[in-house]
Each structure stands twice: as structure tokens, then as C-alpha cells.
Amino acid sequence: MKLPDNWRELYFTLFPDVVLVKGERDAAAYDFNRAELVPIPPVLCDLVEELEVHTCGELAGSLPPDQSPLVGKYLSYLLEKDFGTFREEIIAFKPLDRDWDQSNELLSAQLELNASSDYNVAAVLDQITDLNCFQLELRLGEKWANPEAVEGLLELVRGSTLRAVDLYLTDGSAWTPERGDDLFARHPKLLHFMAYAAPTAYEKTFHPGTLKMVVHPLPKGEERRNHYKGRYIVNYQYFTEALRFNPLLNRRVSVSSFGYWKNDLMYEETFGHVTERKLTEVLASPEFTRLWKVNADRIVDLKDSARRYAVWPAEPLTALQDGSGCYTFFTPSL
Amino acid sequence: MILVLTYRKYEQGTDPVIDWLIRYDAPFVRLDLLSLLEGRNRLHFEDDGRIIIDGYDLQDQIKVVFYRRFLRSLPLDNCQELPHHLPQLRSDLNREAADVFREIFRRLSHAHWLPDFEASERADNKLHMTKLARAAGLRVPSTLVCNRKDTLLDFYRKKPGGLICKPINFCGYYFRDGFAFTAYTKMVDEDFLKATPDRFFPTLFQEVVERDFELRIFYLDGKFFPTAIYSNDYGENLADVKLIAEEDTTHNLPFALPEELKERLDAFMKSAGLTTGSIDVLKDMDGRHQFIEVNPVGQYLAPGRKCNYFIEKKIAEWLIQKNREASGLRSLSPQNLTVTSPSITAT
């Protein structure tokens, strides 16, 4: 798109649905309208800031003669990316509010069930759904991955406030594509079904939801974590949550196969057994919610990156012992 | 008690509000038309004028009504054995049902409605709303309703900027072969005029407003949540911004309304008896704001989320506040927001 003839007399307004974020050495444009993360030169952030109070011509005129032509080039780039528009008025739109909120006291829950699990699953699920939880992840191992057990678990959450159930089966040997299709047809809350070590590979997309069966076994931890490398989440709700919270751990609870409350299954720290401590009590404890507020600016591995508010922080955090209140993904035992 | 009148299945303007009612532990009951017609919810009228639904005395217990797309045409899926009588049967049963529910609504007139049922029915008529908007000092594009081609041609010649044509009330969806068809606002051009017969069904025509951008403004009892629908390139002859809503060059942006426009819109909504609605306004190339229409039960969720307005939360808080006031409880504040009463949902 061509610059307007009178661009020097106009203000350039960055669209509020585009947010520029600076890192230590990089910068990125979060394009929420297109759900894209676009690397940009850091100088562009300064330029856009100046354009909030100066016309394009005023800014170009204030620069040394050798840098002045760059303003037109950068503006062409911003217009071409559809990051903003030229306006006669200095303030055309309002910035997006940075508030984040959700109606749920609990956003997500994660349960691991295998041969070691002898706690009352129904009672735990009742506590989770009583808090209006929207998303449930079930990791099912031995004794729990067969069709009858899965059916029983899904029946337990029928009619609850849950909107989505994700199933991960370590042993998919008893599952056929027909059985998977049938499960999706009868349980509209089912969003993801992933079975490892299945007899045949199969994949089908529903609306919404994905059914996938693979013949290989569940990958090991390191390989699983690589899944998230180079992938970014660019939407405004995620961004505003990431500004203040850790989007993985915020309002999340997990229950280990032995029945212990955790922040997430990948953590070793536990917060009591489900038979001894109510979920409401766990959520009210500052020790449990401590990690919820560890946002990207407090994680040394992320804080210098311009992409920090688009990263899914799916690695266990370790507190630094330097009094800074910061954390790292590095786990000495790995 | 808050009564939520809506569809049986997910309704994008209702369910997110209910999520907040649950979060605040607010007392509410959700009812849908089909559940009442099928007897899933027990309903009876008493001789003394009371109406009881599932044990709830509506006049006594209901203080607030959240009305979302409740009345609808009956599907009558189980009447296939009488296909030749179906249109008459549907018409008769729809009238029967309408009388039942209009009487229920009448007897709920003591409650705070969001929006008022009768006002929202009146608001479906764009001609009436246009009149009220002008009376409130809002600028409205020149509009003609006619049924003769010569009248249309005369209007067309007087408006060199062109004309658009759109439904006076509403156009639903026509389903065929897996597709849904509807009537968007359409540009009146030479081909349109050539195809127009000398006499036709009364139709609404309006002068074209060259848009700077369009505003979708959600109104809630004096508060405004405006979204500017903006594009660097609208293309040629775009009559309806809905046609480009899904394109990635169309931006939904928060906007600050001028005070004068807010005052006029507020006066208009009050004169229309509407406590809520989605108002469409065009900002023209001369910087003037032109009123287009209001939809009392318009969809607010997508523009509201894109602008991070939390409209669903604000609606829930309004309902709770009105319920507390009507119940003689303290006003809403973060300290006394949570109330403890049982809630049921009929769906």
C-alpha cells in the first residue's frame, strides 16, 4: 500500500490491536488481529512512540538529514503490515485496556491416573467442577486407558461446567478408530483425544476437537518439552494474562497419580493429599498460588525476550537463590 | 431472583453472563421456550394471577429479567404425519404460545428488564427507531420507503452519492444445500434499478454515507462500550461492513465517543425505552456521526472481547445490582458482591 501524498501532515496511529514489545536486544509486534508475532527492529518502537505526539513530517524534520528518509521507509513498512493508519487527529482510537479476568476460580485441572491411583476420582472431579472449571486434562495410564474406564470418567463430568476435556492415553492398545469416533460422537465436551501405543495410526478432526492415535509410545520429558519450542500464542487474553501471571500455572491445579495436589504434574512439590485437604483450602494457601504470579518478567530465561508474553512456559520453575524473586526453567536434576 | 430467558442451547450473549452469575453466586433461574413448551419445566397459572414455574412464584420472587432471544418460531418436528396442515398448525400453536408468554411477560412488569420486552419488539422497526433518533438530535441518513419504481428513481436522482437498500425489520437465514443465505445491505446500482419492477413490496432505501469508519456501540443503562470497525481499505462500493468483518484487514478497535454524541444516544435509548442494545453509527468523511440502527439483543461478545471490555461481566453485575436493590439489599460493591442463594438452570 502506498503512503498518502500528504503523509507528512498526518499523524500515524498504531492500531490498538497491535502492541510493540521490546526485549533486551530485540523487539516484536504482537498483531492480535492476525494472531501473529512479527519481529521488528527495536528502533521502530521508539519511532512509533514519537509518532504518538508528532506528525510524520515533524518527526522526519527533527532527525539529522541522513536519517530523515528512514521515517518514510518505516512508515511504508508499518502500512504494508497493516499495523496502523494515517489520521488527521492526534488520537483516533483508545488503547486496549490491559485488564485480565475470568469468571472461573479455576481455569484448568489436570489429573493423572494409573495403576497407583486409588483415590476417589469422582470426589476430586466434584471439587474441581464446583469451582466452575472450564478445562480438564486427564492423563490415563494402566487400568484407566481402556474404553470402559474412559467412558466412566467422561460420564462423571457430563452436565458439569467443564467446557473441554483433553485425554492423553499412554496405552492406546484397546482403542480402534471406530471406538474413538464413537466416543467423540457421544461426548461433546471432548476436545482432544491422544492415544499412544495404539494398534493403528489414525487422525480425525471434529468441530471442535481432534482425535489422534499413534503407534509409538509416549515421548520422554525432554522431547515433550521441545514440542513448545518456536511456538507462540498470540491473542489478547493470553497477552494480558501473561503480563501479570504465569499462564500455565495461573488458576490451575493438578492431582498426581498418588492423589497429591500439585501446581502441575511436572512439579515435585505437593500440597497435601486429596483425602486430607479440600481443594478450596489448597487454593486459599499462598504457598500453592505463589507460582501463579511468576510472569515472564520474573523468569530469567524469558524476561529479556520480546516474545516473552507469547510463550507457553511449559517447564518447571526453580527459584533463584539471589533474593531477586526471579525463577529459572533450569532444573539441576535434569 | 434473576430470570434469564434465552434459548435452550448455547447462546453467545447469554452463557458468558451466566458464568459470571455463577462466579458471584447470584440467585438466578434460566428458562428456555422449548423446555416450557415440552413440559420439562413445570408451569401453571393460578386463579389468583400468580404464575408458578418449577415452584418459583414469578411475581413474588423474580426481581430482574435478562431477556435474550427467547421467543422463536416453533419447530414442530413431531408433526410430520400432517404435512398439509403443518403451516396452519404452526401458525395456531405459535399464537397460542405467544399469548402464554406475553401474559407471563405482562405479569413480570414489576421486574427490571434487560432489555424491556415490548421496547425491544418496537426497536425491530427501523422506521420507528429512525424517527426517535432524529427526535433525540441524532443525524440519520435520508431514508425512503416506497413501493413504486418512479418514486425510487426520483429519490435516486436526488442522491448523487448513491443509495442502499436493506430490510425494514430483519432478514433471517434461508438454508439450502448446506449453505445459509441472508440479505445484507445492498448497493442500489443501474442493474438493480433495471431489474426493479414498476410496483414492488414496500422497501427501505437510504442515501449512501461515505464512511470513515463504522461504530458498533454496546449500551448498558447509560454506559457506552464503542468499537470502531476500521479498515485501511474498504474496497469499492462496500454497502455492509459485515461483509468484511472476517477479513484480517478489518480491525475492531476501542474508541472514545464524543460527549455530545453520548448525550444524544442516551436520550434516544431512553425515548425508545431501551436499557441495553447494540447501536450502529457511521462516522462519515466530514467527521459527522450518523445513526443507522439499534439491536436490543445484538451480539456484543466478539467486539467486546476484541476491545477487552468484559461486557458480559458488566451485564452480570448490572443484573445483580438491580436484584439487590429490588430485594432491599445493599448496593453492589466488591465487598458485598457475593450473595449466597441457590441457583438452578433449566437447561
C-alpha to C-alpha distance for A229 and A314, rounded to whole angstroms? 10
Question: Among residues A306, A305, A316, A192, which one has the least CA distance to residue A246?
Answer: A316
**In this complex, how many residue pairs, one in chain A and one in chain B, have their CB atoms less than 8 Å apart?**
65
Work out the average pLDDT over A280-308. Answer: 96
Test A93 with B255 for CB contact under 8 angstroms. yes
Q: Which residues of A touch B (CB under 8 A)?
A: 1, 15-17, 33-34, 79, 82, 85, 91, 93-99, 101, 103-105, 132, 161, 236-237, 240
Test B16 with A103 for CB contact under 8 angstroms. yes
Is A10 in contact with A73 (CB distance < 8 Å)?
A: no
CB contacts, 8 Å: A82 with chain B: 232, 248-249
pLDDT of residue B310: 96
Question: Among residues B278, B299, B285, which one has the least CA distance to residue B234?
Answer: B285
C-alpha to C-alpha distance for B126 and B292, rounded to whole angstroms? 9
Work out the average pLDDT over B96-117. Answer: 90
Across the interface, which of B19, B253, B309 has its CB nearest the CB of A16? B253
CB contacts, 8 Å: B20 with chain A: 103
Is B339 in contact with B27 (CB distance < 8 Å)?
A: yes
pLDDT of residue A224: 57
Q: For residue B347, name the pLDDT band (cuts at 50, 70, 90).
A: very low
Statement: residue B334 has pLDDT above 70? no
CB contacts, 8 Å: B314 with chain A: none
* Mean pLDDT of all residues belonging to chain B: 88
Share of chain A above pLDDT 70, in %: 96
C-alpha to C-alpha distance for B306 and B137, rounded to whole angstroms? 30
Statement: residue A103 has pLDDT above 50? yes
Q: For residue B233, name the pLDDT band (cuts at 50, 70, 90).
A: confident
Statement: residue B172 has pLDDT above 50? yes
CA distance B306 to chain A (A): 8
pLDDT of residue A331: 66
Q: Which residue of A has its CA nearest to B346?
A: A159
Work out the average pLDDT over B92-99. Answer: 86
The bridge status of strand B223-231 relative to strand B163-166 is unpaired
Statement: residue A201 has pLDDT above 70? yes
Test B254 with A95 for CB contact under 8 angstroms. yes
Question: Among residues A230, A236, A237, A140, which one has the least CA distance to residue A193?
Answer: A140
Work out the average pLDDT over B60-86. Answer: 78
Statement: residue B339 has pLDDT above 50? no
Q: What is the pLDDT of residues B158-171, one digit of tens each?
A: 999 899 998 888 77
CA distance A77 to chain B (A): 14
Best residue in B233, B251, B347 for a mutation probing chain A (most A CBs within 10 Å): B251
Q: Domains of chain A, with CATH numbers?
A: 7-87 (3.90.930), 108-294 (no CATH)
Q: Cell numbers 464524543 correspond to what residue? A: B258
CA distance A312 to chain B (A): 21
Q: Which amino acid is at A22?
A: K
Q: Which residue of B has its CA nearest to A79?
A: B232
C-alpha to C-alpha distance for B5 and B19, rounded to whole angstroms? 15
Test B308 with A97 for CB contact under 8 angstroms. yes
Statement: residue A100 has pLDDT above 50? yes
Q: How many CA atoms lie within 13 A of A333 on its CB side?
A: 7
C-alpha to C-alpha distance for B251 and B79, rounded to whole angstroms? 47
pLDDT of residue A208: 77
Q: What is the pLDDT of residues A152-188, one digit of tens each?
A: 999 999 988 899 999 999 999 999 999 999 999 999 8
Q: In what order do the strands lie in the sheet with B186-188?
A: B143-148, B199-207, B163-166, B186-188
Q: What is the pLDDT of residues A227-280, one digit of tens each?
A: 567 789 999 999 999 999 999 999 999 999 999 999 999 999 999 999 999 999
* B28 beta partners: B2
Work out the average pLDDT over B108-126. Answer: 90
Work out the average pLDDT over B99-118. Answer: 90
Q: Which residue of A has its CA nearest to B212?
A: A87
Work out the average pLDDT over A142-157. Answer: 95
Across the interface, which of A96, A103, A105 has its CB nearest the CB of B254? A96
pLDDT of residue B304: 94
pLDDT of residue B341: 36
Q: For residue B38, name the pLDDT band (cuts at 50, 70, 90).
A: confident
Burial A106-138 (b: 16+ CB within 10 A, else e): bbbbbbbbbeebebebeebbebbbebbbbbbbb
Test B254 with A161 for CB contact under 8 angstroms. no
Burial B56-80 (b: 16+ CB within 10 A, else e): bebbebbbbbbbbbbeeebeeeeee
Most confident of A102-116, B110-124, B234-248: A102-116
Q: For residue B344, name the pLDDT band (cuts at 50, 70, 90).
A: very low
pLDDT of residue B2: 96
Dmax over CA atoms of chain B, in Å, equals 66
Test A17 with B249 for CB contact under 8 angstroms. no
Q: For residue A129, name the pLDDT band (cuts at 50, 70, 90).
A: very high
pLDDT of residue A226: 59
Q: What is the pLDDT of residues A38-96, one digit of tens each?
A: 999 999 999 999 999 999 999 999 999 998 899 999 999 999 999 999 999 888 899 99
**DSSP codes of every residue in B232-278:** S---SS---GGGGTTSTTEEEEE-PPPHHHHHHHHHHHHHTT-SEEE
ipTM summary value: 0.89
Q: Which residue of B has its CA nearest to A15?
A: B253
Q: Domains of chain B, with CATH numbers?
A: 2-115+310-345 (no CATH), 142-207 (no CATH), 211-296 (3.30.470.20)
CB contacts, 8 Å: A132 with chain B: 19, 22-23
pLDDT of residue A222: 59
CA distance A79 to chain B (A): 9
CB contacts, 8 Å: B337 with chain A: none
